[in-house]
Structure 1
Amino acid sequence: MIKFKSCVLYLLVFIFFLSSTSYGQPITNAQIVTEKQTEFTGNLLRFKALSEGSNMQYKWSILKDSCVIYTKDYSESNVFEYPVTSEGTYYVGVSIKDGDGNVVTCESQKVSVVDKIKIETPIEPPKVKTAEEIDIENVQAYVNNTKNLSSQTDRLIWVDTAKNMVYIFKGKSKEWKLEKKMVCTDGKDSTPTVKGDFTVKGRAPWLTSYNGKVKAKYKVNFYGNYYFHSILFDSKGTRVVDSRLGKSLSHGCVRLSVEDAKWIYDYIPDKTAVHVS
């Protein structure tokens, strides 16, 4: 009987011992809070681990472009900071271990690290020049560099018979800037426009042809019987009889639209240099 009572007593003590023993709960709700999704080089990346459990320790690893670049051994700190000196994509992984040896792992969101200087002063792509801009550069280079043309006034005229164009420049020697360009008709093969360097010297409201059959408005003389003038009108000057421009078919004069001929008549002073090529 005594032996039976002793066994019962030992059993009760063992049951009491089991019931009074505390087992740690598994770690729950583990996550990493990332302060920013974008950061600048030279700053600190900061991560914080959040979880529920007891006596927890944290082992941090940081990765750049999916490669581990630093690992910090277990400590009680649930906050991890890392200074970034180069651009790339960064994130951290953490192993969380509690006092009972339970371990969970989790990763943070990715953080893009960019160079602040590049953001503040972006490099603009080279500007692609238009055909118009290239043409302006070329004609200015021709009068300023290739020919080094000068004029007694602040204006200069270049007649390019190969392109049937008249270019008006403003400025001074080596610093001419294109002001206007005009489509013209110059002399045909049998009566070509004179080539060379000349000057403007006189003007009149009308030009009458040698046979009196046609007229032209706003004649401006630059050499002998060579003039800038408008397209052709009839003998009374009331009806246009030849409006063709961009051709080589005149008797040597440089024909222009009425508007362009008037502009030269009004704004180009005598002694202005005229270069014909």
Structure 2
Amino acid sequence: MIKFKSCLLYLLVFIFFLSSISYGQPITNAQIVTEKQTEFTGNLLKFKVLCEGSNMQYKWSILKDSCVIYTKDYSESNMFEYPVTSEGIYYVGVSIKDVEGNIVTCESQKVSVVDKIKIETPKVEVEPTKVKTAEEIEIENVQAYVNETKKLTSQTDRLIWVDTAKNMVYIFKGKSKEWQLEKKMVCTDGKDSTPTIKGDFSVKSRAPWLISYSGKVRAKYKVNFYGNYYFHSILFNSKGTRVVDSRLGKSLSHGCIRLSVEDAKWIYDYIPDKTAVHIS
């Protein structure tokens, strides 16, 4: 009878231990809430990230006119405040990391910061200057890079620029000196020990799957642009049934350009062979 009671006690303790284990939930539905879309100099910009998940940490960066002006390292705070002292277009980006190292990124809406004195005492005779949004400035900059700085050409009506410094892929449509930005995609490029090749290349072939040399992982929608370098999706297990590495916006691949499944499929479907690929 004593043995039975002891075994029962051990069983109850074991069940309690199992029930106390917490498993991390994946990060989903991430978005940033912006308190205001217009603010005055001297005030605080306030942002809050909303998402589903557990045991998450947040790394905040604030940008003014598309340039990073301050970055706060990872912390448990899902709120961010920043005092603004000058006019401009501001917005924040946040990297959300769970206990397994998976990272999801998102950006806030743009906030226009203006001088209160200028608003209160406008000069009627002067036309107010239109303030460009951060998105408009970014589009102007990337189009100037491919059209004026690099004067890039392509054998098709599409052009791809991979900016490894920003972990971004830009897709253009048009022709030489008249390229217009069509899409932009967050990517993961090669790590320091296996960097992504730099230079000018072109799309050569494609296939539904890319299988790793070890056979342990695979990726969807591979599009080759040079040697063993491809655009492809985030990584799946060996059977292609489950995502095993969804990290984007990093430099950690073996040299290929990883994209979300949706973005990889878009390139697979819409970018023809012989399309120019510029990597910097």
Instruction: Please report the TM-score for the alignment, with normalisation by the length of structure 1.
Output: 0.56
Does the 8 Å contact 2:66/2:137 carry over to 1?
A: no
Q: Secondary structure of 1:210's match?
A: coil
Distance 1:120 1:175, change over 3 A: farther
CA distance in 1, matches of 2:6, 2:220: 140
Evaluate the alpha carbon distance shift between residue 159 and residue 72 of structure 1 in structure 2; reply closer, same or farther with a 3 A threshold.
Answer: closer
The CA distance in 1 between the partners of 2:174 and 2:117, in whole Å, is 41
Pairwise CA distance, 1:206:
0.2
Unaligned runs of 5+ in 2: none
State the alpha-carbon separation in 2 of the partners of residues 136 and 242 from structure 1: 30
- Give the drift of 1:126: 1.7
Identity %: 91
Q: Which residue of 1 aligns with 2:11?
A: 11
TM-score (norm 2): 0.56
Other-structure match for 1:46: 46
Distance 2:194 2:110 in 1: 79
| Shift in Å, 1:146 | 0.4
Gaps spanning 5+ residues in structure 1: where?
none
Q: Offset of 1:25 from its aligned partner?
A: 98
In the aligned structure 1, how far is the partner of 2:8 from the partner of 2:245?
134
- Show CA shifts across 1:77-121 (max 9, x none): 999999999999999999999999999999999999999999999
Describe the shift of the 1:201–1:45 C-alpha distance in structure 2 as closer, same or farther (beyond 3 A). Answer: closer
Contact 2:168 2:249 in 1 (8 A): yes
Over 3 Å counting, the alpha-carbon distance change for 1:167 and 1:86 in structure 2 is: closer
Instruction: Answer yes or no: is the 8 Å Cα contact 2:102–2:247 preserved in 1.
Output: no
Distance 1:66 1:255, change over 3 A: closer
Query: Is the alpha carbon distance of 1:2 and 1:109 closer, same or farther for their aligned partners in structure 2, counting shifts above 3 Å?
Result: same
Q: Which residue of 2 aligns with 1:105?
A: 105
Q: Following the alignment from structure 1 to structure 2, what is the Cα–Cα distance between the partners of residues 2 and 252?
A: 64
1:201 CA drift (Å):
0.4
1:198 corresponds, among 187, 198, 201, to 201
Shift of residue 74 of structure 1?
85
Q: How far is the alpha carbon of 1:45 from its aligned partner?
A: 51
The CA RMSD over aligned residues, in Å, is 34.0
Distance 2:193 2:7 in 1: 140
Query: What CA distance in whole angstroms lies between the structure 2 residues aligned with 1:239 and 1:23?
Result: 18
Is the contact made by 2:57 and 2:97 (CA closer than 8 Å) also made in structure 1? yes
1:136-188 CA distances to partner (integer Å, 9 max, x unpaired)? 10000000000000000000000000000000000000000000000000000
How far the C-alpha of 1:125 sits from its partner, in A, is 1.7
Query: Tell me, what secondary structure is at the counterpart of 2:99?
Result: coil
**Aligned counterparts of 2:212 and 2:27: Cα–Cα separation in 1:** 107
Q: Give distance in 2, aligned partners of 1:11 and 1:234.
A: 36
For the residues of structure 1 that align with 2:239 and 2:3, how far apart are their CA atoms? 152
How many residue pairs match? The answer is 277
- Greater Rg, structure 1 or structure 2? 1
Confirm or deny: 8 A CA contact 2:62 2:92 kept in the other structure. yes
Instruction: Quickly say closer, same or farther: Cα 1:44–1:159, change in 2 above 3 A.
Output: closer
Counterparts in 2 of 1:242 and 1:112: CA distance versus 1, 3 Å: closer
- 128-137 vs 12-21, which deviates more? 12-21
In 1, distance between residues paired with 2:245 and 2:279? 23
Map 1:168-247 onto structure 2 (within 5 A).
168-247=171-250
Distance 1:253 1:41, change over 3 A: closer
- Residue 58 of structure 1 deviates from its aligned partner by 81
Query: For the Cα contact (< 8 Å) 2:102–2:246, is it kept in 1?
Result: no
* Distance of aligned partners of 1:257 and 1:19 in 2 relative to their CA distance in 1, 3 Å threshold: closer
Q: Aligned with 2:272: secondary structure?
A: coil
Most deviating of 28-37 and 216-225: 28-37
Distance in 1 separating the partners of 2:102 and 2:211: 110
Task: Summarize the Cα distance change of 1:145–1:62 in structure 2 as closer, same or farther, 3 Å threshold.
Answer: closer
Q: Cα deviations across residues 18-71 of structure 1 (Å, max 9, x unaligned)? A: 999999999999999999999999999999999999999999999999999999
Tell me by how many angstroms 1:190 deviates.
0.2
Change (3 A) 1:146 1:205: same
State how far apart, in whole Å, the 1-side matches of 2:261 and 2:140 are: 27
CA distance change for structure 1 residues 61 and 213 in 2, over 3 Å: closer, same or farther? closer
